[in-house]
Structure 1
Amino acid sequence: MSTLDNTSLQLPKENPEAEDFLPLLGTDYVELYVGNAKQAAHYYMSAWGFQPLAYAGLETGLKNKVSYVLQQDKIRLVLTSPLKSGGEINRHLDAHGDGVKVIALWVDDATKSYRETVKRGAKAYLEPKILKDEHGQVVLSGIHTYGETVHIFVERKGYDGTFMPGYRPWKPHYSSKDTGLRYVDHMVGNVGWNEMSKWCKFYAEVMGFAQLVSFDDNDISTEYTALMSKVMSNGNGRIKFPINEPADGRKKSQIEEYIEFYNGAGVQHMALATNNIIQTVTSLHNRGVEFLTVPASYYEDVLDRVGEIDEDLAPLRDLGILVDRDDEGYLLQIFTKPILDRPTMFIEIIQRKGAKSFGKGNFKALFEAIEREQKSRGTL
């Protein structure tokens, strides 16, 4: 049974400027196209603490692809690989490597969501489709976004099965303890030169989002590189999409490196929320997850900058966790190194203690850490 409540919800509005006509109730799942779904599933279970949930493949009647579904609290990952040569998934993997194909959004009415977004200019990806089994029905529809990323609208209020029709429960002998990850806080997209405003306009006009905050190259820059970013959010604040584009700098920025190796625009990172970042990061570190590090000098004046916090500074320093404050409170965050062979996607771990921002005060330290990794790869 899904941990997402299947009932229709009227959620309070946190972003008053958002039209929020769909509305969106949360992130239903994130689907990655990967070269070997079985092995990728083992990685996300062993290293990240995801639990096995559902499976679709040859045994369920699929002939050309296989998917493993993993879950940790409200986060669901779908890992999909091709079973034969040729076809769309192989082409996608050849162009981009492993990466996010689908950001699925939980809605109360997938047919309405499709009609409203296509009417406003979205390019259709999947016309409304009903999937049925003995547990009820799920309605899916979808639209294209930046690069080859798509949004699938998922209506599951009439379904009480494991994941959705076409999948069977997956209960392997092995499963690992969770690491305290709770939900998807935000998903970040990288787009090409001068494309940020275009895609922010898309989310505003096509999906009813509004801009939450923006950062220019004065905010996000180092001695060598720079980028610009705007954060788009739906009305209830459950879906937040920062959109990044490169900015002029002396050397190749992380956004340019991403676009070069991903071969276009795509999802740069998932930010996953936890209620105890020290425990979560300790567990992930012990399981072999590699994180970016900042100089010890970062912690010499961090409390002067952010003020009093509940956590002891020593474990934050030992783990490399960053701290920032806004008018609403503070946040703690840390970023992995790329989790794939191509220097493309990574994962952020975030704990919010009231803060609604994205760590502006950490940008310089973070981006210098990324540049050190770029230099080691010879791509700076």
Structure 2
Amino acid sequence: MEIRSIDHVELFVEDAEDTAGQLCDSFGFTLAGRGGPGTGLRDCESVLLRQNDITLLLTTATGTDHRAAEYVKQHGDGVGLIGIAVDDAHAAFAEAVERGAVPMTPPEEFGPAGGRVTFASVTGFGDVEHRFVSREKPEGPFAPIIEETGTREPGGILQRVDHFALCVPAGKLDETVRHYQEAFGLTQTFEERIVVGSQAMDSKVVQSTSEMVTFTIIEPDTTREPGQIDAFVESHGGAGVQHVAFLTDDIANAVRTSTDRGVRFLTTPASYYEMLPDRLGPIGVPVDELRALNILADRDPSGVMLQIFTQSTHPRRTLFYELIDRRGAHTFGSNNIQALYEAVERQQAEEAARLA
């Protein structure tokens, strides 16, 4: 199968309208449409958001028969479905099932000839499914089951989904990687063992040939002290998407704009920036600016990468977001992971102290 890109991300949430409002206020997403029983959706209501090449569908179950009901009960709000753009959803579905993916929703076509949209879903990992999407008009409406309320407008601080970070229970990393290789034809491009104090985790990256669909998969090392991956799996109730990374072409502006809108980002120790020039050399952005905005920096043979992570506002402290600015780099800031996890530990310690 020829995987093109991320078509959309569907979050199963308790209150789609409220979540949509938060994402619009925080990151500048635009309300693009709504769906419910009147548009052909069954047992649910959905809100469609867009920004450049990012499409988010927020779905709330209105009946117990919809998958979002059990998902939210088990995991709380989170990414329940990742839509993958392919040339032919019928063929991709058949191929994935033949390779071992479990079918969830057989191919279903929407719309008239010339503007037809086809959806077909299979299992991904944990309770996250993957929906193959093929569109006769790539820039056309999402689907007739969503009544769109506006036109697509360029602009905004975020460009597209860069990657997803997936947390899996101990012992499931290789199995999950193998599933993506065998069922979806993704290729493993990177692996790393990360040690943070008395904690440790193992990660591998799988990616489509187009390089537009990327999953960083992480499992905890249970021979070490329990850490954040253990905590995620426990709080989430199993494997799930820990964070979604959004690509931006000006991270400093994106951070300032988001901060002004109320987004809270993780902070970084001052010592991180003191060591940055010796570790990376010139990176094209003043270190003082990075320090002021808590932006992390890394370099690989292809260039520089800048990134920052939001604090989680999820009641279970699971799902959060990343902003990433790639200036030639193709990797994921592995040298920043220790700084990230130290920052998360500080956030959790501060919250515990406030509650004490």
Match of 1:351 in 2: 325
Secondary structure at the counterpart of residue 70 of structure 1? strand
**Residue 161 of structure 2: which of 184, 187, 192 is its match?**
184
One-letter identity of the residue aligned with 1:126: T
Kept after mapping to 2: 8 A contact 1:135/1:160: no
Deviation for aligned residue 1:249: 5.9
Tell me the alpha carbon deviations over residues 232-264 of structure 1, each in whole angstroms, 9 at most, x when there is no partner. 011121111111101136532111111111101
Paired residue for 1:256? 230
Report the Cα distance in structure 1 between the residues aligned to 2:115 and 2:79, rounded to whole angstroms: 28
Q: Are 1:276 and 2:255 counterparts?
A: no
Q: CA deviation at 1:179?
A: 4.2
CA distance in 1, matches of 2:285, 2:41: 49
Whether 1:114 aligns to 2:88 is no
Equivalence for 1:361: 335
Is the alpha carbon distance of 1:86 and 1:106 closer, same or farther for their aligned partners in structure 2, counting shifts above 3 Å? closer
The aligned residue for residue 38 of structure 1 is 17
**CA spacing shift, 1:111–1:314, aligned 2, 3 Å:** same
SS at 1:334 equivalent: strand
TM-score, with normalisation over the residues of structure 1?
Answer: 0.88
| Aligned residue number for residue 60 of structure 1 | 39
Q: TM-score with structure 2 length normalisation?
A: 0.94
Corresponding residue for residue 88 of structure 1: 67
- 1:31-52 alpha-carbon deviations (Å, 9 max, x no partner): 0001100111111111110011
Give the aligned length.
353
Q: Which amino acid aligns with 2:98?
A: K
* Structure 2 spans left out of the alignment, 5+ residues: none
Q: 1:197 to 1:63 in 2, by over 3 A?
A: closer
Task: Give me the whole-angstrom Cα distance separating, in 2, the residues matched to 1:156 and 1:86.
Answer: 28
Aligned pairs (5 A) from 1:76-155: 76-84=55-63, 87-133=66-112, 136-155=115-134
Q: Which residue of structure 1 aligns with residue 207 of structure 2?
A: 233
Contact 1:135 1:159 in 2 (8 A): no
Cα displacement (A) at 1:84: 3.8
Identity of aligned residues (%): 36
Look up the SS of the partner of 1:281 in the other structure.
helix
- 1:54 touches 1:163 (CA, 8 Å); kept in 2? no
CA distance in 2: counterparts of 1:226 and 1:63, whole angstroms: 44
Tell me, in whole angstroms, the C-alpha distance in 2 between the residues paired with 1:264 and 1:377.
24
Aligned equivalents of 1:141, 1:60: Cα separation in 2: 19
Q: CA RMSD in A?
A: 2.2
Judged with a 3 Å threshold, the aligned counterparts in structure 2 of structure 1 residues 378 and 259 are, in CA distance, closer, same or farther, namely: farther
User: CA 1:128 to 1:87, structure 2 compared with 1: closer, same or farther past 3 Å?
Assistant: closer
Which has the higher relative contact order, 1 or 2, with Cα contacts under 8 A spaced 6 or more apart? 1
Residue-by-residue CA offset, 1:65-87 (whole Å, 9 max, x unaligned): 11011011001100000224565
1:48 alignment partner in structure 2: 27
Q: Aligned in 2, Cα 1:177/1:340: closer, same or farther, shift over 3 Å?
A: farther
